[in-house]
Structure 1
Amino acid sequence: MVDQNDLKASLLDALGRRVRALRLEAGLSVKDFAALAALSPRFVHQLESGIGNISIAGLARASVALGRSLVELAPPLADDHSLRAEIWRLLADSGNEDLVEFQQWLRQRTGRTANARFIALIGLRGAGKSTVGPLLAKRLKTEFVEVDRWVEEAADMSLGEVFETHGEAYYRRLERESIQRLFGSSTGCVVATGGSVVSDAETWESIKRRCFTVWLHATPEEFMRRMRKQGDLRPMQGRPSAMEELKALLARREPLYAESKLKIHTTQKPPVAIVTQIVKAVAASKK
């Protein structure tokens, strides 16, 4: 007969080690994780040490804070060698590419259609899309795609060369085709759009229909500071009124950006906190 105290201790130990591993993988401190999961830092320490007996509701909050499904937090016992336990371990150790391939195989075998889920990051250049995007994709175990990279590949030249050689209309066409190709070929991903994507009504409507849209917002001063820090001086070179032009551009686009499902003020907010905010909003939208 199984000793219930031993069973409880084994469960809590496995759960604690799993939560700690996922928290570290997400780049969250104990304090940040505790705040996001509505737990005390002391209890988080107890949980990760294998002595904190968390409720199902608390575990659900922890899973949202980590950007994981609830079942990912509760590993099978070490002496459980059942088929489903072994599959759980294999899935837990698999990378994104293996998981996507396995998902596609199962859907084909069972005849289930894919319910694609796209998260589109919207905002001006310097909003943080290229920083937040990969972190968010990693947290959600999905792919990260930058539309402008697809445009460059299609044109076989840099964005600057695309505009200089062929003009904005050509860029818009490649952008529209790239996004349509993405929606037609992917089972879901995190996608960073160009800052001007909202200027193309057809493309923007398509994105709003297919994606959970996130507007990464910052002040004009913050945008300019980030571009300088990245060594991108193009907006300022030979243009003494660059700041006023940037403010005017943001003012024109803000009403369109505001159509996004989620707006995040990114100024002085660490990327990990932004990722967690998006994960929680996406999870809430599924309820």
Structure 2
Amino acid sequence: AQGGARLVEVGTTNKTHLSDYAEAITEETKAILKVHTSNYRIVGFSELVEREDLKRLASQHDLPLIEDLGSGVLVDLSKYGLSYEPTVQDSVKAGVDVVCFSGDKLLGGPQAGIIAGRKKWIEKMKKHPLTRALRVDKFTVTALEMVLLDYLDEERAVKKIPVLKMIRESKEALKKKAEALKEQVESLSGAADFAVLPCEEQIGGGSLPLERLQGYALVIRPKRISVPELEEKMRHLPVPIIGRTIENAVWLDVRTMFEEDFGPVSQMLGEIL
């Protein structure tokens, strides 16, 4: 908006063709923007334009191609049983001039917005007065650097970076975790019935909206207080415990829990039950 740019939408909600982009290009056009639907999907009677085709069109008109990927994915998740999600490397290899993505979410780093691309365009952005006001601090840069260094070895990255490690965790391993948590909680409180049950999970974080993971949860059915009361007490703990209410019970999904958390979680649950 500051530069006087006007966004021109092309195509329709469910179908967009290369010709829609081509017909919208005028002598005033300065760039082509493609935004990936990272947090939703349009399925069924739908069609979209591939970045490679857009790059050819952009080159024909001497325009930069910008792609907003949303979640920053640096590994091919289809290798780990998930559906394919476009990676930053895919965009760069396709010749996209500027790629925008998140530093957190699927990348697994600190919350930040990352803009990568050709030096010509990045240098122009760096000269804008707002760059200084919006740039992240040195702590964020350091944290991001450490995460990106892990990605130099993909095998190490998927084992070390929490979000990738959680996504890859097997159903069998999750069941063992849930049973270990159940054993600890039961030893501290007899004021509820506890069970380990299979559950369906969403990855969240504005990514892979259609993906469902299969895991296990600790299911709590309190005897002395109601489920809403238990949930409220959990939320107001010094370190809040966030669960889901399903079929008049509180479900704690263990995929996002570390085993070193089991002791404190069990202690706090024992106190409020």
Q: Smaller-chain TM-score range? A: under 0.3
- Larger Rg computed on CA atoms: 2
Which has the bigger relative contact order, CA under 8 A and spacing at least 6? Answer: 1
Q: Greater helix share, 1 or 2? A: 1
Q: Greater strand share, 1 or 2? A: 2
Relative to the length of structure 1, the TM-score reads 0.25
